[in-house]
């Protein structure tokens, strides 16, 4: 097999838009919403999603300016390396890789949960193995095959959410007509012997939930990686960014509002999709089975994006000579095959469901993935702010940028504060605290590893 070090620019604008449009619709939205609802209550969950929408949109605005000017496959790590420091870039590469390898495992576990509906006697780990084989097949041949599979799978989940919203809005108006405002929205207000109000577990639970909710938006930023393999990125990136805001509001916040309205918080779990629960409440025949199939497609889509992104992070590290050149090799079809196989092997952590309770595994993986993503998002905000200063110092004009982030530096400050608040809120949750400590240790190890090996691979290449 002939090998080189260049990617094929086979992604088109429609691929990039659909990756940005549907990349985030995975376990966080389709399964994790149940856990958020159970913790923060209906109104608290809606608020958490609104806050997270603002955070991720601010990050996307910053990413748009960077990725349209520097359409690099290394993306976040490249930006941090150039505009913060090489050690920060090294850490960001690994954090984004960590985020996606854990996310891929979560998606596989979630598929196993959903398959239990039809095959209750088949263990979850069997479905994990099947998912690994399928997603690896989408990524191993040509990036065009990945792009078309991702386009199709993302389109399926977009259709799924549209159908859910149509059914939900119709039922909402029906209940308003039949039962009135107070009864229709009775899930939002609690009146018991021990508590009266909107937040049954306190307002603190809302802040504790924001980090997990941010996990639901993981994947929106994958376009920043895919732009390096996209034709005419200066045109495609602004189109993808502009599609993000209304997608966040309509698809995420709208769906969560429908779920919170009809699904009592005590009935919400992390082992079944709240989308399926709500459709069962509507008593629509066969729709829950159809939705279950669509949700499985949706989770495979996010896993597909995750494998794609994590392989490119390993390639990015090796391309900067921060890992052995072995990982920088790109085969004749433009696939970083060694980085792909390495990332898939790490995603086998999802098989821990065979020896550990699945709920425990998925909760810990979500916490690790969410924190890693928050740190990457912070680096994007800081990189864009420093890039803007660098750009202007070159005597260049803002109107010449392919995409200009509005309200600089306010947008960047908002992004950083939002991510920091999410992390602080998660610290008050004892279950997430362990994952926070673990991620901090990961960052320290990465920082030390950088300084121990920063010249090692450069020297070896000269030999």
Query: What pLDDT does 356 receive?
Result: 54
Distances (CA, A) of 18 to 203, 219, 254, 327: 35, 11, 19, 28
Asked whether residue 28 carries a pLDDT value surpassing 60, the answer given is yes
pLDDT of 416 reads: 93
How far is the CA of 318 from the CAs of 92, 327, 339, in angstroms? 14, 6, 9
Give me the pLDDT at residue 387, please.
94
When the pLDDT of each residue in the chain is averaged and rounded to a whole number, the result is 81
pLDDT of residue 24: 64
DSSP state of 251: I
Instruction: Enter the DSSP assignment of 302.
Output: H
305-315 residue pLDDT tens: 888 888 888 88
Q: Each residue of 143-198: pLDDT tens digit?
A: 777 778 878 888 888 888 888 899 899 999 999 999 898 888 988 888 877 777 88
What does the pLDDT look like over 311-333, one tens digit per residue? Answer: 888 888 888 888 888 888 887 77
The predicted pLDDT at position 1 comes to 37
* pTM exceeds 0.95 for this model: no
Beta strand 330-331 with 190-191 is: unpaired
Residue 281: predicted pLDDT: 82
Instruction: Find where tokens 């602004």 sit.
Output: 238
Query: Domains of the chain by range and CATH?
Result: 7-462 (1.20.1740.10)
Per-residue confidence (pLDDT) for residue 239, from 0 to 100: 72
> pLDDT by residue (tens digit) across 354-379?
555 555 566 666 777 778 888 999 99
């Amino acid at each position: 097999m002939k090998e080189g070090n260049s990617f094929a620019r086979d992604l088109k604008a429609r691929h990039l838009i659909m990756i940005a449009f549907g990349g985030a619709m995975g376990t966080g939205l389709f399964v994790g919403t149940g856990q958020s609802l159970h913790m923060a209550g209906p109104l608290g969950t809606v608020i958490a999603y609104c806050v997270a929408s603002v955070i991720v949109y601010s990050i996307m605005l910053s990413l748009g300016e960077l990725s349209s000017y520097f359409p690099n496959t290394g993306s976040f790590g490249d930006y941090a390396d150039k505009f913060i420091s090489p050690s920060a870039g090294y850490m960001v590469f690994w954090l984004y890789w960590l985020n996606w390898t854990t996310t891929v495992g979560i998606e596989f576990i979630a598929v196993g949960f959903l398959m239990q509906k039809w095959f209750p006697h088949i263990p979850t780990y069997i479905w994990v193995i099947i998912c690994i084989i399928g997603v690896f097949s989408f990524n191993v041949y040509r990036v065009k095959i990945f792009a078309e599979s991702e386009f199709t799978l993302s389109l399926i989940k977009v259709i799924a959410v549209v159908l859910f919203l149509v059914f939900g809005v119709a039922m909402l108006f029906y209940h308003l007509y039949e039962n009135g405002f107070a009864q229709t929205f009775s899930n939002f207000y609690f009146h018991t012997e021990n508590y009266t109000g909107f937040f049954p577990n306190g307002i603190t639970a809302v802040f504790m939930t924001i980090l997990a909710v941010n996990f639901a938006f993981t994947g929106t930023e994958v376009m920043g990686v895919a732009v390096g393999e996209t034709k005419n990125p200066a045109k495609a990136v602004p189109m993808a960014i502009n599609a993000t805001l209304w997608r966040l509001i309509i698809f995420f916040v709208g769906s969560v509002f429908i779920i919170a309205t009809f699904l009592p918080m005590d009935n919400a779990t992390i082992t079944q999709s709240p989308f399926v629960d709500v459709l069962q409440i509507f008593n629509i025949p066969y729709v829950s089975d159809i939705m279950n199939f669509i949700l499985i497609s949706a989770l495979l889509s996010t896993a597909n994006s995750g494998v794609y992104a994590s392989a490119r992070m390993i390639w990015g590290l090796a391309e900067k000579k921060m890992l052995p050149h072995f990982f920088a090799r790109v085969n004749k079809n433009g696939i970083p095959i060694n980085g792909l196989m390495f990332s898939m092997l790490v995603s086998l952590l999802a098989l821990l469901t065979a020896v550990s309770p699945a709920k425990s595994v998925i909760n810990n993986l979500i916490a690790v993935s969410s924190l890693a993503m928050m740190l990457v998002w912070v680096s994007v905000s800081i990189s864009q702010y420093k890039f803007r200063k660098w750009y202007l110092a070159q005597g260049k004009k803002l109107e010449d940028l392919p995409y200009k982030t509005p309200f600089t530096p306010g947008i960047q400050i908002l992004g950083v504060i939002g991510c920091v608040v999410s992390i602080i809120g998660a610290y008050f949750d004892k279950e997430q605290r362990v994952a926070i400590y673990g991620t901090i240790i990961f960052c320290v190890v990465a920082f030390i590893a950088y300084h121990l090996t920063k010249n090692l691979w450069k020297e070896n290449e000269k030999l």
